[in-house]
Amino acid sequence: MNSAGRFLVALAVGVSLAWGANATAQPNDAVPHAHEEIMLKGGRTMIYDQNVAVTLRDGHVVYANVFRPKQPGTYPVVMAQGPYGKDATFQEAYASGWAQLLKANPEICAQSSCRFIRWEHTDPERWVGDGYVVIALDVRGSGYSPGYLDLVSAREARDFYDAIEWAGNQPWSNGKVGLLGISYMAINQWQVAALQPPHLAAMIPWEGASDLYREALFHGGIESNLFLQLWFKGQILPNQNGNAHTAYKDPGTGLPPTGPALSDDLLKANRASLVDSAHEHPLLDGYNQERNAVLSRIRTPFLSAGNLSAAGLHGRGNYEGFVRASSKEKWLFLHTGTHDDSFYSDEGIALQHKFFDHYLKGTDNKWEKTPAVSLVERDPARATWTTRTEQAWPLARTRYVSYHLDAKDHLLSTEPPKADASVTFDAGKTAALFDLSFDRTMEFTGPLAAHLWVGSSTTDADLFVTLQLFDDKGREVTFLGASDAASPLAQGWLRASRRKLVVERSKPYQPWYAFDEIQKLTPGQLYPVDVEIWPTSIIVHPGYKLTLRIEGADFQRPVSDPAANGFGKRGSGVFLHDDPVDRPQAEFAGVTTVASGAAHDSFLVLPMIPRGE
């Protein structure tokens, strides 16, 4: 095609996209297509079809890469749709992540060429040889899929529904579709499963929020701005359909994997920004409600894989999905490490295969006898951690113990202090600390909460609550996590003016906020507030100390070399809350008071697990 022809194609596509959500796009000759037979390391042959057109209910077309066995027959489907580029290689588009993954799993390419691994997608070569079809789909408005980019929206969930039904009706499909992927590709599993597509037979949401407002956009009602900004600019915009300036390359063509080029004006007009919408919709209104999965409508069998060290995005959703979904067949798998280490490990892939073999192939592998919950025992005193099984979450034998704050002596105790006292801190500068020492080995596993009496010198206050653990030598116990290489034990957040509870849904160990109105503070007056702290699991030993840290800004450790460490060992990773629009100095740089004592009993609820039971 000559330059004039390319211009006309780009112009035609651009005009179609500019019409917005109701516009449709038909199969495009400018989108590259490939058909290739590939010999797998196991000796079987895989057929790779690039950019297969999938027509949605409104006539719009999105594009999928399909990997399937060469041998004729019908096979179960494992699929995912995402905005990160099904044709942008993990190795080049996410080089640092790839290096970290290889370090954790040096044998990752022993059974695969790793040619088709994409960020947070599964490796098709690890599935096709075992009789599966694997599909990777660019969401509308990303990669080669034209259209208006509206991330994690209701329409995007409906698109996913249509793609699942398309896959379930293909001649190479046995009619059973499973969903598999990390983070974004887990979030949209919760969303689409609530729509109940008939061909959806099972799913494995791996570390993905099931309540976007509470778990990604607004932690405790405080805007999580830094992550949104970095994510949108660094991962979403480079792969927006029509972005000719992307550094991503299609390994087959060497060209941008984003379709015909669009002007900057059209690119901006063809996308919704979650960063902008956070400013426009700070409460849990209809806009935000539409993006939250209706978990009670989920009936699909699933394996929810959550990270015990993932405050900020990759933890709470998997717990809540497991607890609140109506599926009768559901499992919770709790691991540690980065958000993709276990996903791509041999053990993780074996777990995924066993689950899907049962539900998508009908294999009698006794999966149904698998205990409902498995979790890593995080014991700092042991060099190697083991995994144990449980029958419920929260654990059935949990005893919730209240540890009362003593503001005078800065301690936590099972007995409330008799005298009233208070401690203050300058928001963003200092913190209130309360210590709890242990004289015996104990375990705490499950959700937890802080019930506090607080006041402010201004009309509002943000509370950042962190649990730190120190061993018998005074060294902090930290964890390699999904967002930070030195994650603390647990974290929670609350904006005081968003303290309104949904009483019927709240529990002593897990408050549930309405987030539907703003209740300002009267300066100098004390108010009871309940701070949800995301679930954790830990075994402590004699001489260990737990510190409850309450402050008015994000928990961040000082690092000796910020350029070398970046956010990696600060403690909160990229999940920071420092947007001056959301947190104006006049309201959020005041003096905060934490009270304790008989009249203002503040306490921390910990999920104690009896030893030996």
Q: Is the pLDDT of residue 27 over 70?
A: no
Radius of gyration (Cα) for the chain, nearest Å? 25
**What's the pLDDT score for residue 564?**
42
The yes-or-no answer to whether 3-206+238-262 and 399-609 have a common fold is: no
**Tell me, what DSSP letter sits at residue 149?**
B
- Averaged pLDDT score across all residues of the chain: 93
Residue 291's region, left for phi above 0, alpha for psi from -120 to 50, else beta, is: alpha
Q: Which two tokens stand for residue 191?
A: 């969303």
CATH topology of domain 3-206+238-262: Rossmann fold (3.40.50)
**What's the pLDDT score for residue 13?**
35
- Tell me the C-alpha distance between 372 and 325, whole Å: 14
Residue showing tokens 């972005």: 243
Kindly report the pTM of this predicted structure.
Answer: 0.93
Is 217 within 8 Å of 223 (Cβ atoms)?
yes
Is 569 within 8 Å of 557 (Cβ atoms)?
yes
Query: What CATH superfamily classification does 399-609 receive?
Result: Galactose-binding domain-like (2.60.120.260)
Query: pLDDT tens digits, residue range 445-461?
Result: 999 999 999 999 999 99
Would you mind telling me the total number of residues written for the chain in this entry?
613
Q: Is the pLDDT of residue 19 over 90?
A: no
**What's the pLDDT score for residue 174?**
98
**What's the pLDDT score for residue 613?**
58
Q: Is 119 helix (H, G, I), strand (E, B) or coil?
A: coil
Q: Is 42 helix (H, G, I), strand (E, B) or coil?
A: coil
Q: Is the pLDDT of residue 1 over 90?
A: no
- Tell me the C-alpha distance between 581 and 275, whole Å: 12
Query: pLDDT tens digits, residue range 541-594?
Result: 999 999 999 999 999 998 755 544 455 688 999 999 999 999 999 999 999 999
Q: Is the pLDDT of residue 211 over 90?
A: yes
**What's the pLDDT score for residue 22?**
39
Of 510, 549, 546, which is closest to residue 398 (Cα–Cα)?
510
Burial class of residue 512, CB neighbours in 10 A (0-12, 13-18, 19+) = middle
Domain boundaries, the chain: 3-206+238-262, 399-609
Query: pLDDT tens digits, residue range 594-606?
Result: 999 989 999 999 9
Who wins on pLDDT, 561 or 7? 561
**What's the pLDDT score for residue 30?**
82
Query: pLDDT tens digits, residue range 382-391?
Result: 999 999 999 9
Burial class of residue 500, CB neighbours in 10 A (0-12, 13-18, 19+) = middle
Query: pLDDT tens digits, residue range 291-347?
Result: 999 999 999 999 999 999 988 999 999 999 999 999 999 999 999 998 899 999 999
